[in-house]
Amino acid sequence: MTTRIGVHVNDRRIELYGGMQVQHALIAYDPAVYAACKRSELVICDEHGFRVGLEGALHDGARLFVKSP
């Protein structure tokens, strides 16, 4: 059985499979936002305000926020 996790991107809940990364959550949220993050036009922060990379690990209940650099 495959584990599913729920994460939030800008307060929108996204369902993903366990083992997926920040980039997968952004693609599910909005591919244009993912592309802007790849170009460093936007950055991703966790619920504590720390920047996270696109290859960062996720856990059930993680909260991500997309911001201007």
Listing DSSP states for 7-52 in one string gives EEETTEEEEEETT-BHHHHHHHH-HHHHHHHHTTSSEEEETTS-EE
Amino acid 2: pLDDT: 78
Residue 25 lies in domain: 4-67
- How many other CB atoms are found less than 10 A from the CB of residue 25? 24
Amino acid 14: pLDDT: 97
pLDDT one digit per residue (tens) for the chain, 69 residues: 579 999 999 999 999 999 999 999 999 999 999 999 999 999 999 999 999 999 999 999 999 999 999
CATH number for the domain that contains residue 35: 3.10.20.30
Amino acid 1: pLDDT: 54
Amino acid 43: pLDDT: 98
Amino acid 34: pLDDT: 98
Task: Report the number of distinct structural domains present in the chain.
Answer: 1
